[in-house]
Amino acid sequence: MEEFEDLLDVDMENIASDLMDIKEKARVDLIISKLKMYSNNIQELTNLYTSVLEDDNVSYLLLKLSQNPIFQKHFPEFYVKNQYGEDVINCQQNSSYHKYGVFKHILTTIECVGNPQIPIGKWQKKLLKWTMFLHDIGKPYVKVILEDGTDSFVNHDEKSVELAKGILDRFYFTEEEKRIILTLIKYHDKYLNEGEITYDNMKFLSSELDNSKEMFYLLLDVKDSDARAKNVDVYNKFKIVKNKYQEFINTYIDYENKAEQIDGNDENKVQKETAVSKAELDALIEDVMDKKRIRALYQHIIDIDKKKVMGYEVFSKLDAQKNIKVIDFLNYALEIGKNDKIQQMMMINAIEKFESNMGKEADILFVNSDLTSYQKYINKPRLYEMMERNKIVLEFQNYEKKDLNTIQEMISAIHKNKGYVALDNFGIGTLTIDDINLLDVDYIVPDRSLIQNIVEDTEKQKFLSNLVTYSISKGCKVIAIGVEDKTMLDMLVSLGVKYVQGYYFSKPNDTLEPLNTKLKALISNSNDEQI
């Protein structure tokens, strides 16, 4: 009887497997019939292929589809033979970097992509899946077998962009969607070595990505998926590079965005940038150390319910004859080992000027601080003394999951000295909503990229709604930044947000002028039932 049962178990497993194969084969047949039916309807055709790319069993589906003439009709670029008789489907990759041929590598990357460190909607997922589908199709076209027998694919990214453009033009994509996919393909294989993650290279890449955090994180997801589909050593090296990317994203783009805000409000701004010498930077460093040539600018944070100013965020602006960006200045300070002292001096200067300003409506001041720099501050007693006199919120940036214990220790010390703590740029790093259960934070500031386009993006709406619900149970406050118009304000209010900041209310300035009259007019225009 036992032997019979063992045989029955094996048979049942095989039967289940066969049924699954039959089901998947039937699904492939259905997809093929639909592809034939809609061959002349590019919108439906694009939707069909997008659904395949987003399917959990995408590798099986594409592998089977690639064997059918309808796929070859839609993607002839995949079947052009090179000098070795190879095309995208059967091109081998004999190199120390790869473990699969081109097509299997592509299929594996499609499976991996779609998990960046920011919430994304269906639109972004679609672009990521198509990016990986097309990112390496240029490889057979440029393949060269070297004398040692290994394969080289120099300039395959440029060829892939060229081929992908032709494919995207045949399908149903907006110009913006095409631009994003082609940009991600163009840079998927660039700046992968640790030594290439320099300030100049990253600044150039940032300009190519519209200085957008969201674009940076989409590109990082593309690079991560590409590295996962290669050898283990390649992926382990990439993880180090990825950390450097994240460090740049959370410093340069933050400072760059804030510099744009401040410069936009500065009537005396030097319009044309001029090269700055090392001697000029050294002189500026010395002046800042003496609390000279630093302007503290403040932007209002609004309490929607009470229709008043809740507090202010402070920004530092350099007063120099040449237009020197704060990020460039801080990078130079980092090079010569004075970054921590400079940031400390900027913080103290901003707080002192806030104390002396008699026209402010509220007494809560939000001060940005890099987590690593804060750990190295040697003058904490001075800061704690200021906390005794003012309601100071230290707005931490550049933190990760690995920093949880360190952050909580600092929070405890800050609370003990009557200070407060905010997590800035929340939602884009490794720290999740569940993780901050371990932290006694007072404020959470979602990253600006999670607020942009929130009116149209349901995934961002869901994320923010969950964060607001969590904050209520936790007893902390969520502040939404980057509010630019009434439509955005209405959406944020409908999601339960009570504290906002942005150009809709004010730009950074040093006057701290009361906004009560203006505020009441602006807020009263929002839907009363939402408020």
Q: Are residues 150 and 285 in the same domain?
A: no
> d(Cα 391, Cα 373) in Å, to the nearest integer?
21
Instruction: Please report whether residue 292 resides in a domain.
Output: yes
Boundary residue ending a domain (171, 189, 207): 189
Instruction: Please report whether residue 218 resides in a domain.
Output: no
Q: Are residues 287 and 173 in the same domain?
A: no
Which of 243, 248, 128 lies closest to 181, judged by CA? 128
Structural domains of the chain, count? 2
Q: What is the pLDDT of residue 2?
A: 46
Instruction: Please report whether residue 389 resides in a domain.
Output: yes
Boundary residue ending a domain (146, 165, 189): 189
Q: Are residues 288 and 404 in the same domain?
A: yes
Interval 195-252: pLDDT, tens: 888 877 888 898 899 888 889 999 999 999 999 999 999 999 999 999 888 877 776 6
Instruction: Please report whether residue 236 resides in a domain.
Output: no
Boundary residue ending a domain (189, 215, 235): 189
> d(Cα 437, Cα 324) in Å, to the nearest integer?
40
Instruction: Please report whether residue 222 resides in a domain.
Output: no
Q: What is the pLDDT of residue 302?
A: 92
Q: How many CB atoms lie within 10 A of CB 213?
A: 23
The answer to whether 69 touches 120, Cβ cutoff 8 Å, is no
Instruction: Please report whether residue 242 resides in a domain.
Output: no
> Which residues of the chain fall below pLDDT 70?
1-20, 251-276, 320-323, 327, 376-379, 515-520, 522-531
Q: Are residues 174 and 315 in the same domain?
A: no
Instruction: Please report whether residue 100 resides in a domain.
Output: yes
The answer to whether 211 touches 446, Cβ cutoff 8 Å, is no
Domain extent at residue 465: 280-524
Write the CATH number for 312. 3.20.20.450
Q: What is the pLDDT of residue 322?
A: 64
> d(Cα 45, Cα 58) in Å, to the nearest integer?
16
Q: Are residues 303 and 158 in the same domain?
A: no
Instruction: Please report whether residue 260 resides in a domain.
Output: no
Q: What is the pLDDT of residue 529?
A: 42
Cβ-proximal residues to 270 (8 Å cutoff; 6+ apart), any chain: 321, 322, 323
Interval 100-139: pLDDT, tens: 999 999 999 999 999 888 878 888 999 999 999 999 999 9
Q: What is the pLDDT of residue 277?
A: 77
